[in-house]
Chains A and B, each alone.
Chain A
Amino acid sequence: MSKALILLHEKALRLSHPVFKVAPKDSQAIFIWDDDYFRKVNYSLKRLVFLYETLCELPIQLFRGATVEVVRTLQPSGLFIPETNHPIIQSLIAELQTFVPVVIVPEEAFVELEQDLDPRRFFQYWGKIKNRTSQKNGK
C-alpha cells in the first residue's frame, strides 16, 4: 500500500488550500485529466488551456485516465480531497469512497457561519454576514 495522496480537482488549484495542511506532509498531490469528465462538462478549448496552464505551475503529478481507474492503479492508503459542491466531482468522490478512505477538506471560509442560513434571498444572508465580511479571515 502506498502513501496517502492529495487529489486536486478543477476548483482547488493552489498550494495554500487547507488540504495541504491537513494531509500528511509527505503526501503527493495529483490531478487526473479525466476525458470523460471534460466531455460531460463540455468545456471549450479556452477553458481546457486555462486549466492546463494552471496545472503546469503546480508541483503535482498529472495523470490522464478515468479518475476511479487511476486511483485504483495508484493504490493510495487514503485520499485527501478539497471539498466541492460540483455535482459530477461529488459523484466521482462517492465512487472513490467505496474502496479507499477519503478525507474531504473544506475551503477557507469567506465568513464563519454558526448556522445554515435560508438560501432563498441574498439580502437576508448579507444582513447577517455584512459586518464580518470586512474582518480579516471573516471572523
Chain B
Amino acid sequence: MTQLPRQFSTRQELIEFVKKLAPWALGDPSPIHGGRLAAEERLLKIDPIAYGRTRNYGDGKVTRLSPYIHHGIVSLNEVRNRAIELSEDPSRIEKFLQELAWRDFWQMVLTQHPEWAWQDAEPYKTGFEPSDYADDLPEDIREGKTGVACLDAFIDELITTGYIHNHARMYLASYVVHFRRIKWQAGASWFLHHLLDGDVASNNFSWQWVASTFSSKPYIFNLENVHRYFGNLVDTSPERNKILDASYEELHQRLFPNLQGKE
C-alpha cells in the first residue's frame, strides 16, 4: 500500500504521473478536465429552455455535464434544482428534466436487474437471433476507418475527447448493431472504454434500446437525418456516406429482411 500525491504543478505533470501509474491504459488524455470546479462552470452555463428546442442538434445547447454526473461530482438533484431556478414554468424545461429522468431510470433498472447489464433484457425484434450477431468489434470501427465519413468523424471525436453527442452515440450504436450486425455488448464495451461518462447503466441500456432488446423496435437512421442534425459539423455528402443514403423503407428492407411481410 502506498499513498499517492494529489498536488501537481501542471496538468501535464499529472498526466505523466497517471501514465506511469497505469502504463497499460491506452490513448491520450482528453481536453475535458475533471473536478468540481470544471463541473460548476458547466452548471452555471446550462440553458434548460434552449435545450428543449436544440438538444438533437450537434451544436445544440446540451450541458456536457454527463462526465461529472457519472462521477457523482454533481448529483442529478443538484442539476435539476439549478434548472428549475432558471424557469418558473416547468413545461418549458420538460425535455431537460426528462433527460435527467432517463438517467435516473436506467440506474433504477440496473439496481433491480443487474443481470441485464450484459445480457439481453428481451429478444431482438429484428428478425435475427442473438447468434446471428458477431461477438467482436472489427478494427475499422474501433479505429474510425469504416469509410462512412460522418461516422468516422464521430468515432474520431469519441477517441480524442471521450465525449460525443447523444444523437451521435445512437447513430454509432445503430450502425454497429444493425448495419454491421454485431452484438450490442461489443459496442457497449467499446464506449465504456472511451467515454468519460461511461456508465454501465446508462450506456448499456441505451445500447439495448437501440438494439431492440430493451425496446419494442430497432432504432435506425439514415443520411438525411444525420445531415439535418449534424450537416454543418461533419461530412454528410452522399458519395462519402453511401451505405446510409437511403429512405427508411429501403433501409428497413435491407437491414431486417426476415421481418418483411411479417409486420
Contact = CB atoms under 8 A, between A and B. Distances in A.
Contact of B18 (A14, A42, A52): A52
B194 A119 contact: no
Contacts of A134: 84, 90, 93-94, 97
A50 B196 contact: yes
Nearest to A32: B1
Contacts of A138: 77, 80
B127 interface: no
Nearest to A73: B1
Contacts, number: 193
Main secondary structure of the interface of B (DSSP, over half): helix
B34 A50 contact: yes
Contact of A126 (B74, B93, B101): B101
Interface residues of A, number: 62
Interface residues of B, number: 73
B35 A57 contact: yes
A60 B6 CA distance: 9
Contact of A63 (B1, B81, B101): B1
Contacts of B143: none
B181 interface: no
A56 B6 contact: yes
Interface of B: 1-8, 11, 14-15, 17-19, 21-22, 24-30, 32-37, 67, 70-78, 80-81, 84, 90, 93-94, 97-98, 100-102, 104-105, 107-114, 117, 161-162, 189, 192-196, 198-201
